[in-house]
Amino acid sequence: MSEVADDGASSSTSACSNHSLRTIVCMRHAERMDRATEAQGKDWITTAPRPHDPTLSPLGVKQARAVGREFKELGLNISRIYCSPLIRCVMTADLVAGELGLGANSICVEEGLVEEAKSFRGYRSKNEPPPNWHPLLLPVVKAAVEEQKEEEEGRAGGGSLSDYSPRLDASYVSMVDVQHVCVDTWTQGENKEAEAEAEEEEEEEGGRGGEKKKKEEKKGDNGVVELWCQLPSPELSSAQALALAQEAKDEVTLARCKLLVSRLLTSSTTPSTSSSSSSSSCVLLVGHGASIGGVSKYIPEYGTEGDSSNNGGGEKAKIEGERSVASWCVFDRDHSASWSSRFSHWRHSFVEGEEEGGGEGGGGGARIQGSEGKGDVGFAE
């Protein structure tokens, strides 16, 4: 698992633009159970079997359904959903799909939409239980041999993502292969080369006192590091790649999101790796604050050549407001194959029992009903 992927690809994609894709909807998952429980002053994480991978809260279920209904009212003809491999995103995608009337194989679990590594719960500074690495990301379907192995070893692996949605396409292969490394395992001697390099660097910088503390901070408070999906330099060794990933966590996430957008918009079909593949004119991406922020940053960069033309997307890439839970935005492709946001703000549909401000994650504000055009969307404080 600590091996560095050559280019992050799970399969090849066509070099030409995906001309069938006209609309992309980006959505952050609905409210998660841990945040909802802890907001009431109750403990959740101490006994959680998967501290980093909570389900949706009852309010989150309502939020997801409300967004699905609004998508239907807006006439968004979503035929396929891509979602992060974390439970809260799979549940959000399934609830939206239910409101849209989508059936089997309509949801593709895409690793490229997963949470940024530094945000996985299991923070040492807060004395939280570490992330469950058995496995860190649940499989879509668990093989019988894996279930038998877990039983023999006396550990609970947490089932599979199919336990949370009957609509998952088990044949789909992620456009981006995400590799995570447990830094605690690495420092315990699995990677002797990397450990020796870190020790040598530490001595050169002036001893084991304050420098050791700085290195611990670089590794990440939860012990989870995501490797580069595409290395900045192919000549880097595994040890060097890991060290670089530790020091550039945000850059790793953005690079992965950019690669996902590139492959989504240049694939000949959507999705290109599924046995049930069919051209889709409108797709939904369900992810997290960081991953959805990343893809929404890069979608407007892609024009007629199917490649990025700058490093930020310009003013048309900027969407105002907070990416609170269950918030979403819509991108449309025009006749020249350029992408732009349909609305000026992140959208959010409140449901009964939800406070204004977007729930977990804060911000957002209430969407003013009847505001549909890009210049007409308003948000109440």
Tens digits of per-residue pLDDT, 269-292? 444 444 444 567 999 999 999 999
Q: Look at residue 58 and tell me if it is in a domain.
A: yes
The residue that leads in pLDDT, 301 or 207, is 301
The DSSP secondary structure of 157-195, one letter per residue, reads: ----GGGS-TTB-TT---SB---EEEHHHIIIII-HHHH
Tell me what pLDDT residue 147 has.
58
Split at pLDDT 50, 70, 90, the class of 157 is low
Q: What is the mean pLDDT of residues 54-61?
A: 97
Q: What is the mean pLDDT of residues 319-325?
A: 93
- With a cut of 70, say whether residue 323 has pLDDT above it: yes
Measured distance CA(75)–CA(66) in Å, rounded: 14
Q: What is the mean pLDDT of residues 319-326?
A: 93
Q: Look at residue 163 and tell me if it is in a domain.
A: yes
Q: What is the mean pLDDT of residues 311-335?
A: 80
Helix (H) or strand (E) holding 25: strand 23-28
Q: Look at residue 360 and tell me if it is in a domain.
A: yes
Q: Look at residue 365 and tell me if it is in a domain.
A: yes
Tell me what pLDDT residue 35 has.
96
pLDDT digits (tens, 9 = 90+) for 339-361: 999 999 999 987 876 665 444 54
- With a cut of 90, say whether residue 3 has pLDDT above it: no
pLDDT-wise least confident of 32-46, 97-111, 180-194: 180-194
- With a cut of 80, say whether residue 181 has pLDDT above it: yes
Our count of domains for the chain comes to 1
Q: Look at residue 289 and tell me if it is in a domain.
A: yes
- Report CA dihedral (208, 210, 214, 219) to the nearest 10 degrees: 40
Tell me the CATH number at 99. Answer: 3.40.50.1240
Q: Which two tokens stand for residue 127?
A: 């004395």
Split at pLDDT 50, 70, 90, the class of 318 is confident
- With a cut of 90, say whether residue 250 has pLDDT above it: yes
Tell me what pLDDT residue 236 has.
86
Split at pLDDT 50, 70, 90, the class of 143 is confident
Distances from the Cα of 90 to the Cα of 45, 181, 266, 326, angstroms: 20, 23, 25, 13
**SS percent in the chain: helix, strand, coil, step 5:** 35, 15, 50
Measured distance CA(157)–CA(159) in Å, rounded: 6
Tell me the range of 13-22, 45-54, 297-306 where mean pLDDT is highest: 45-54
Q: Look at residue 309 and tell me if it is in a domain.
A: yes
pLDDT digits (tens, 9 = 90+) for 68-121: 999 999 999 999 999 999 999 999 999 999 999 999 999 999 999 999 999 999
pLDDT digits (tens, 9 = 90+) for 25-38: 999 999 999 999 99
**Residues with Cβ < 8 Å from 182, sequence gap 6 or more?**
133, 223, 224
Domain that holds residue 169: 23-178+248-380
Q: Which two tokens stand for residue 218?
A: 């670089």
Q: Look at residue 9 and tell me if it is in a domain.
A: no
Measured distance CA(143)–CA(131) in Å, rounded: 22
- Summary mean pLDDT of the chain: 78
Q: Look at residue 208 and tell me if it is in a domain.
A: no
